[in-house]
Amino acid sequence: MKLLRHGDRGSEKPGLMHTDGTIRDLSGVVPDIAGDVLSDEGLSRLRDVDPSGLPVVDPSTRLGACVGGTGKFMCIGLNYADHAAESGMKVPSEPVLFMKASSAICGPNDPIIIPRGSEKTDWEVELAVIIGTKGKYISEADALRHVAGYAVANDVSERSFQAERQGQWTKGKSCDNFGQLGPWLVTRDEVADPQDLTMYCRVNGQTMQDGSTRTMVYGVAYLVSYLSQFFTLHPGDVISTGTPPGVGLGMKPPRYLKAGEVVELGIQGLGDQRQACVADD
């Protein structure tokens, strides 16, 4: 299934993408794409629903982030060896974890808001893992059973805030609209191998990133297990698993986003995003 959330920001409704290409509203079936709906049992109940009997949503309706109720937006740094190299950093001996504020989460086509004073806003296409079942001390063998599904994420980053303003990376990762998520949550049964998905990012039509999850240092199952050793994972938590090479930081000279530019990104089978860059007022 391809689950989504549609409507104005802050009042999104649950929905799904029907096989006929229409968006269908799930408001009469579940309250949101969140919580227990993300469990295996909850997803099984949704599979029993006949989409053809659900209301059709106007295709011009805004899409929100594909999951609600996210308590933790966790990100893995330097998880592609070639991206670590372009960043001038070593491949870490264990996953590098940082957090993105949940207030940064937005819809897949919502604009990238370039913050005041920013000169180094950057793009990062990433595979997002969405937790469906609560767990702690999860074994790697059982890890994928705790996954509801996968989505495209843009881990937008302001590099000077991230690396030149003291402290850790949070300031450069958590600005408003720095976490586009969607268009859909694709349930794990429809993703045969999360470690074999092609991914891309274009700026103004020029390909910047052209990679594959095959080159991740730490795979999805390992990351779910690893993170659960430190804290409980809850339904709706998001793990953004790192980006392949081709970010603006790694170019010579570096190249960053400006108001008026357009970013497009996507992952095989998980859909595409498109964002206009706008200056914050």
pLDDT-derived band at 165 (thresholds 50, 70, 90) equals confident
> What is the model's pLDDT at position 120?
97
Q: Based on the structure, what is the number of domains in the chain?
A: 1
Cα-based distances in Å from 179 to 102, 137, 154, 257: 8, 27, 6, 15
Per-residue confidence (pLDDT) for residue 21, from 0 to 100: 95
Q: Is residue 58 part of a domain?
A: no
What is the CA angle 147-173-120, rounded to 5? Answer: 135
Widest CA span in the chain: 54
Structural domain contains residue 48: no
Average pLDDT, the chain: 95
Residue 16 lies in a domain: no
**53 assigned to some structural domain:** no
| pLDDT at 211 > cutoff 90 | yes
Q: In angstroms, rounded to a whole number, what is the distance separating the alpha carbons of residues 186 and 148?
A: 8
Is residue 35 domain-resident? no
Is 57 within the bounds of a domain?
A: no
Peptide bond into 183 cis (omega under 30): yes
pLDDT category at 106 given cuts 50, 70, 90 is very high
Give the predicted TM-score (pTM) of the model.
Answer: 0.96
Strand 73-77 with 238-240, pairing: parallel
Query: Which percentage of the chain shows pLDDT scores above 90?
Result: 91
In a domain, 22, yes or no: no
Residue at token pair 């793990």: 239
Q: DSSP secondary-structure letter at 216?
A: B
* pLDDT of 39 higher than 90: yes
3-class state of residue 210 by DSSP: strand
Of residues 85 and 224, which shows the higher confidence score?
224
**Read out DSSP for 135-151?**
BSS--GGGGGGGEEEEE
Residue 166 neighbours by CB under 8 Å, 6+ apart: none
Give the model confidence (pLDDT) of 41-72 as tens digits. 999 999 999 999 999 999 999 999 999 999 99
Residue 26 scores a pLDDT above 90? yes
CATH of the domain at 178: 3.90.850.10
In Å, how far are 24, 51, 91, 124 from 78, measured between CA atoms? 38, 40, 7, 11
Q: What is the 3-state secondary structure (H, E, C) of 222-281?
A: HHHHHHHCCCCECCCCEEECCCCCCCHHHCCCCCCCCCCCEEEEEECCCEEEEEEEEECC
Instruction: Quick: pLDDT tens for 83-94.
Output: 777 777 778 899
In a domain, residue 219? The reply is yes
Full residue range of the structural domain in which residue 190 is found: 64-279
Confidence check: pLDDT of 261 > 90: yes
